[in-house]
Amino acid sequence: MDAKKITEILHALSSKIDKEKEFLTELDNVIGDGDHGINMARGFKAVDAKIDTLETEDIGEILRTAGMTLVSTVGGASGPLYGTAFMKAGMTMSKKTQISLSDFLACLNAAVEGVKMRGKSVQGEKTMLDAMIPALEAMNKAIEQGLTSADVLKCGTEAARQGVEYTKTIIATKGRASYLGERSIGHQDPGATSFTNMLEAVYDYITA
Partner 1 sequence: MKKLINAVDQVENQMISGMVKAYPHYLTKLNCGNVVVRTEKKSGKVALISGGGSGHEPAHGGYVGTGMLDAAVAGAVFTSPTPDQIYEGIKEIATDKGVLMVIKNYTGDVMNFEMAREMAEMEGIKVEQVIVNDDVAVDNSLYTVGRRGVAGTVFVHKIAGALAETGADLEEVKEVAEDVIANVRSMGMAIRPCTVPAAGVPGFELKDDEMEVGIGIHGEPGTHRETLKTADEITDMLLDKILADLDYSGAETAVMINGAGATPLMELFIINNRVADVLAEKGIKVYKTFVGEYMTSLEMEGFSISILRLNDRLKELLDAPADTPAFKA
Q: What is the C-alpha to C-alpha distance for residues 193 and 181, in angstroms, rounded to an integer?
A: 20
14 binding partner 1? (CB under 8 A): no
Q: What is the C-alpha to C-alpha distance for residues 48 and 85, in angstroms, rounded to an integer?
A: 17
User: Within 10 A of 201 (CB to CB), how many other CB atoms are there?
Assistant: 22
75 binding partner 1? (CB under 8 A): yes
Coil, strand or helix at 94? coil
91 binding partner 1? (CB under 8 A): no
With CB under 8 A as the contact rule, the residue among 76, 134, 156, 190 that binds partner 1 is: 76
With CB under 8 A as the contact rule, the residue among 1, 34, 54, 101 that binds partner 1 is: 34
Query: How many angstroms separate the Cα of 88 from the Cα of each of 18, 82, 83, 135?
Result: 24, 10, 9, 17
The beta-strand segments (E) located in 143-185 are: none
With CB under 8 A as the contact rule, the residue among 1, 176, 202, 205 that binds partner 1 is: 176
Based on CB atoms, which residue is closest to partner 1, 31 or 136?
A: 31
178 binding partner 1? (CB under 8 A): yes
Show the 3-state SS of 66-83. HHHHHHHHCCCCHHHHHH
Q: ∠ at Cα 46 (17, 48), nearest 5°?
A: 70
With CB under 8 A as the contact rule, the residue among 7, 39, 157, 167 that binds partner 1 is: 39
181 binding partner 1? (CB under 8 A): yes
77 binding partner 1? (CB under 8 A): yes
Which residues of the chain form contacts with partner 1 (CB under 8 A)?
25, 29-35, 38-39, 42, 71-81, 118-119, 171, 173-176, 178-181, 183
